Amino acid sequence: MSTEPQSTIEPATRERERARYQVADRAPRSLAELVLRWESILLVLLAAVIIGNTLVSPYFLDLYNLADATYNFSEKAIIALAMALLILVREIDLSVAATLALAALCIGFLAAHGFGTLLLILTGLAVGLACGAFNGFLVTRTRVPSIVVTIGTMSLYRGIAQVTLGDQAYTSFPADYLELGQSYAIAMPPTPLSFLIFLLLAIGYGVFLHGTASGRRLFAIGANPLAARFAGIRVDRIRFALFTLAGLMSGLAAILLTARIGVVRPNIALGWELDIVTMVVLGGVAISGGVGTIPGVVLAVFVLGLATFGLSLMNVPGIVINVLLGLLLILSIAVPIVIRRFTGRAGRHGD
């Protein structure tokens, strides 16, 4: 009488082997997992920011104040959505603000020579697209790390703007172009066009990343680029497309920003790289790639945007806000690493 051999693999070992093949963005299966998700922590943090600012300032919850507050982060948030996909696949683009500056320069130049709104919009998008494609070409063809490439192109794009404009500025724009950034797309609740575009893009990015096979490929590349390449995923083509997308979003942000402020100077959007990377990393996208969600990035945008708005209502100097953002970036990178090490050590002791 034959009997089937019993498995000699211990349950704990089997569980660890199963965990190796779990996708990092899968839905939580228990209450503990739900509570400890990064998005849940961000929700609590967002609630704390709203409550704290409401107690400090009676003007915080005014609808028009909140609508105007979105102007300060919507353009950055649009770029952050594309940056999240790049970081997810272990890449980064530090030239996004410089790309914005170069696109704004071209928009301002054409506006100063009397060209219409449609051409200004197409120019902004085209310049951003070209800069992003150039970044993607350099990264995928030269195999130089993207952080090195985009530091170089950041200096290149920003340098072109500074050499071209010097201490001058473009201030002449068509009235209908300025209306894009200085009026509400929806009257009630008051919703600026830039904020509406951000919300629509966030939905699109979320559906793409978490609901399509192409989005799942980004997680595969971030988890193990070599294995993804052997699995037949066109890694370089996807990386090139993501750099191009980041450039396109920078061009879109240039259109919205120049329409809002009505002026182009060579220092436009200077230092935005820090804010954008902070939004992405605070949103739970691992700087090492392979982990992250679009809802997390959206929550981080609101946390940072409303916190900055509240601090400005309290007349906190901008330099202090920048220091706080830097500290927040360090913490948002370090805390998840510490938590993972702690839980991993606890798990080993439990075995």
In a domain, 16, yes or no: no
* Total structural domains within the chain: 1
Q: Are 69 and 194 in contact (CB under 8 A)?
A: no
CA distances from 259 to 7, 36, 117, 199 (A): 67, 41, 10, 19
| Residue 159 burial (CB count, 10 A) | 14
Give the per-residue pLDDT at 19: 42
Q: What is the pLDDT of residues 36-91, one digit of tens each?
A: 677 888 898 899 889 988 998 888 888 888 998 899 899 999 999 999 999 999 99
Q: What is the pLDDT of residues 167-210, one digit of tens each?
A: 899 999 999 999 999 889 888 888 999 999 999 999 999 999 99
Per DSSP, 186 falls in state E
In angstroms, how far apart are the furthest CA atoms of the chain? 94
In a domain, 33, yes or no: no
In a domain, 281, yes or no: yes
In a domain, 222, yes or no: yes
* Domain CATH number, residue 189: 1.10.3470
In a domain, 10, yes or no: no
In a domain, 212, yes or no: yes
In this prediction, residue 276 has a pLDDT band, given cuts at 50, 70 and 90, of very high
Q: Which of 196, 193, 202, 204 is nearest to 256 (CA)?
A: 193
Q: Are 260 and 311 in contact (CB under 8 A)?
A: no
Q: Which of 186, 195, 213, 171 is nearest to 302 (CA)?
A: 195
- Beta-strand ranges (E) seen in the chain are 184-186, 191-192
Domain carrying residue 124:
59-344
CA distances from 80 to 168, 192, 236, 346 (A): 29, 18, 21, 34
Q: Which of 301, 306, 315, 310 is nearest to 59 (CA)?
A: 310
